[in-house]
A = this chain, B = another copy of it.
Amino acid sequence: MNKLKEFIETLTPISDKEFEDSKDNFSKIHLKKEDFFVEQGKICRQIAFINNGTLRTFYINNKAEEITACFCTKNSLTTSYKSFILQEPSLVSIQALEDTELLVIDHEKLQQLYNTSRAWQNIGRQIAEREYFVMEQYAATLNNESAKEKYLRLLNEQPEVLHKASVEDIATYLGVTRRTLSRIRQEIAK
């Protein structure tokens, strides 16, 4: 739970008592490699803090291709955010790339925290704001960076992902084909 508290404190100060009072709302779950945390088409009922492990968010596009939207690594949040907020079917699946440990809280319980605690109202807004920043950064990356630059960014920011994900997963994340990713790697190895 310590890492979770540290994470929350990057958002807003929270007293020990307030954290202790709310921590029963979280529970620990373990995923084995290839287990799903969220499945496309089902409602995502939880938001998770990643204690340990790596996950991949992906969806099936209208050409029936499986596209990686992001990789989620430890000490950050993961959820199908829109599905979680609106409690509507998820457009994405989230799957463990390796054995993974999560701290999860149900949508209902989080709403109760929002309703009973001003600190949690604040945390909720700031989570939304942070999710926005992450998505904005992602969009900026999509817009500005070539596939090669995106690859180098991944190499720099989440290097462990390059060993845990397949070439196919990484290629769809970069928005190119496997062939082009192969050319990119060739060029970088120069």
Question: Which A residues are within 8 Å of any B CB, using their own CB?
Answer: 61-62, 67, 69, 81-82, 85, 91, 114, 118, 121-122, 124-125, 128-129, 131-133, 135-136, 138-140, 142-144, 175
User: What does DSSP make chain A's interface, helix, strand, loop or mixed?
Assistant: helix
Chain B residue nearest to A144 (CB atoms) is B61
Q: Which residues of B contact A142 (CB under 8 A)?
A: 139, 142-143
In the bound complex, do residue A144 and residue B82 qualify as a contact, i.e. CB atoms below 8 Å apart?
no
Question: Chain B's nearest CB lies how many Å from the CB of A126?
Answer: 8
In the bound complex, do residue A143 and residue B67 qualify as a contact, i.e. CB atoms below 8 Å apart?
yes
Number of copies: 2
In the bound complex, do residue B175 and residue A143 qualify as a contact, i.e. CB atoms below 8 Å apart?
yes
Q: Which residues of B contact A136 (CB under 8 A)?
A: 81-82, 135
In the bound complex, do residue A144 and residue B67 qualify as a contact, i.e. CB atoms below 8 Å apart?
yes
Q: Which residues of B contact A121 (CB under 8 A)?
A: 118, 121-122, 125
